[in-house]
Amino acid sequence: MLRNLATSLVTSEKGYIVTTVPKAKELRPFVEKVITLARRAKNLTGDETQAQEVHLRRQAARFFHAGNSTFKTEQSRFRGKKGETKEPIERTAGVKAVQLLFGELGTRYQNRPGGYTRIIKLGRRKGDNAEMAVIELVDNPRELAAKK
């Protein structure tokens, strides 16, 4: 569940997700660890920087959901000719999350020592009275545009 939430948060175009307060509180250290890995990759210097970055990317990939695979054929996985094999092309969500993390987020938080997320409580959900919250990445483009 945490891997799914972390993948949703990092790949979200808005920079935030809405979830319950206990889930948001559990997600915060989970996401902050993986952002620290990306920061560490951006601050690498020395001879073996590429090998170290690959190692950090593989460590970060553990924190994300691999995603649903896309298939080469247009038809549903369960329909088609008998004996037809459908090879998955790639797993999309986790790959996109790692790319965004080491590309955009790593540079955004390069000089920030910690505190990459913020939790804002929203109140209680109508159906089951669960306390809801927004967990968002700080210094997101929407927030920076509002400051200007």
Residue 84 has pLDDT above 80, yes or no: no
Question: 69 lies in a domain?
Answer: yes
In a domain, 71, yes or no: yes
Total of domains in the chain: 1
Structural domain contains residue 138:
no
User: Residue 48 domain-assigned?
Assistant: yes
Could you tell me the pLDDT band of residue 48, with boundaries at 50, 70 and 90? confident
Residue 139 lies in a domain: no
Whether residue 32 is contained in a domain is answered as: yes
Tell me which DSSP letter residue 68 carries: P
Confirm if 69 and 89 have CB atoms less than 8 A apart: yes
CA distance 26 to 97: 19
For residue 107, the domain's CATH number is 3.90.1030.10
Asked if residue 123 belongs to a domain, the reply is: no
Spell out the residues 6+ positions from residue 58 whose beta carbon is closer than 8 angstroms to its own: none
Segments forming the whole domain that contains residue 41? 2-15+22-77+88-115
Q: Do 123 and 131 meet the contact criterion of CB atoms below 8 Å apart?
A: yes
Where b means 16+ CB within 10 Å and e means fewer, 91-122 reads: eebbebbbeebbeebbebbeeeeeebbbeeee
What tens digit of pLDDT does each residue of 8-33 get? 999 988 889 999 999 999 999 999 99
Coil/strand/helix, residue 60 = helix
User: Could you give phi then psi for residue 13, rounded to 5 degrees?
Assistant: -70, -30
Tens-place pLDDT, residues 109-144: 999 999 999 999 999 999 999 999 999 999 888 888
Let me know if residue 9 belongs to a domain. Answer: yes
Of 44-48, 63-67, 74-78, 131-135, the range with the lowest mean pLDDT is 74-78
Contact yes or no for 107/42 (Cβ under 8 A)? yes
CA quadruple 9, 107, 35, 70: dihedral sign: positive
